[in-house]
């Protein structure tokens, strides 16, 4: 009886040992399975990143087209169609659909420039053409529209008034506009008069006009209000 109990106890102990081994094996397998699950999840996280890049590109295209449809061709600057499509071109410079969109956008910008030329708003027209030139310098219509602007403003005196708040705040928008205007003044060999209420503002305006050109701009200063740039466009050659 005692032996039986002893044998049973031994058998029970053996079962316990085997059960413990099974438990350890199950835990080990579970641990491996858990590691495999982590590895699988880690590997799958790399896939959405590729999808995110594709989705980001698709969204940029959509945003560009929406900006074009809403007439936000060059302003507001950071969210304009012109700036958005440049970001798309950085990532997909040879995408035919993107190149076609760029051509459409350039034509829209030049159409606005032509309207501005008709209204004798030559400074604004020149700014629009500069955007088109940066966006698509080889567009076949660009030389003709540029020539149209040159002829239209021959022997014309144009006055660009400067908003006092933009001048006193030295706004980034005004800086950009003056830089573009300075390039047109040099290209067309125009002469200017800068009108301002004080010497510091007049000198700042001249510096912004000259910042992106190598040639010296011919300018005179006069004191008065409102602040303005008076441009004398020369007769075109030929």
- In the prediction, which pLDDT does 227 show? 93
Work out the number of other CB atoms within 10 angstroms of the CB of residue 79: 12
CA distance linking residue 85 with residue 41, whole number of Å = 35
Maximum Cα–Cα distance across the chain: 129
Per-residue pLDDT band at 52 (split at 50, 70, 90) = low
- In the prediction, which pLDDT does 237 show? 56
Are the C-beta atoms of 146 and 129 separated by less than 8 Å? yes
Which three-class secondary structure state does DSSP give residue 224? coil
Per-residue pLDDT band at 86 (split at 50, 70, 90) = very high
Q: Which residues lie closer than 8 Å to 184 by C-beta, 6 or more apart?
A: 123, 126, 130, 190
- In the prediction, which pLDDT does 53 show? 58
CA distance linking residue 154 with residue 149, whole number of Å = 9
Instruction: Supply the pTM of this predicted model.
Output: 0.56
CA distance linking residue 58 with residue 225, whole number of Å = 49
Q: Is the pLDDT of residue 50 over 80?
A: no
Which among 189, 176, 234 has a CA at the least distance from the CA of 215?
189
At 13-49, the pLDDT tens digits run 443 445 445 444 444 444 444 443 334 333 333 434 5
At 56-80, the pLDDT tens digits run 888 888 999 999 999 999 998 889 9
Q: How far is CA 222 from CA 108, 156, 162, 230, in A?
A: 38, 20, 14, 10
Q: Among all chains, which residue has been given the structure tokens 């491996």?
A: 32
Which region among 22-26, 86-90, 160-164 has the lowest average model confidence (pLDDT)?
A: 22-26
At 177-230, the pLDDT tens digits run 999 999 989 988 888 999 999 999 999 999 999 998 888 898 999 888 889 999
CA distance linking residue 112 with residue 106, whole number of Å = 10
- In the prediction, which pLDDT does 122 show? 87
Which three-class secondary structure state does DSSP give residue 114? helix
Are the C-beta atoms of 227 and 203 separated by less than 8 Å? no
């Amino acid at each position: 009886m005692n032996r039986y109990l002893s044998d049973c106890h031994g058998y029970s102990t053996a079962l316990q040992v085997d059960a413990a081994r099974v438990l350890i094996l199950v835990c080990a397998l579970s641990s491996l399975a858990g590691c495999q699950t982590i590895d699988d999840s880690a590997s799958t996280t790399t896939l959405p990143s590729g999808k995110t890049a594709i989705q980001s590109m698709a969204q940029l295209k959509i945003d560009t087209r929406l900006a074009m449809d809403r007439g936000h061709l060059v302003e507001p600057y950071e969210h304009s169609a012109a700036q958005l499509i440049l970001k798309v071109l950085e990532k997909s410079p040879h995408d035919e659909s993107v190149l076609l969109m760029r051509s459409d956008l350039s034509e829209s910008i030049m159409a606005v420039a032509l309207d501005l030329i008709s209204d004798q708003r030559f400074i604004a027209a020149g700014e629009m053409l500069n955007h088109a030139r940066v966006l698509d310098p080889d567009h076949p219509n660009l030389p003709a529209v540029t020539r149209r602007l040159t002829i239209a403003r021959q022997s014309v005196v144009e006055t660009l008034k400067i908003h006092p708040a933009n001048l006193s705040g030295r706004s980034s928008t005004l800086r950009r506009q003056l830089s573009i205007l300075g390039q047109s003044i040099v290209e067309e060999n125009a002469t200017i008069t800068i009108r301002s209420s004080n010497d510091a503002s007049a000198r700042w305006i001249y510096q912004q006009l000259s910042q992106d050109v190598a040639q010296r701009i011919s300018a005179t200063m006069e004191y008065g209000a409102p602040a303005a740039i008076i441009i004398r466009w020369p007769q075109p050659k030929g």
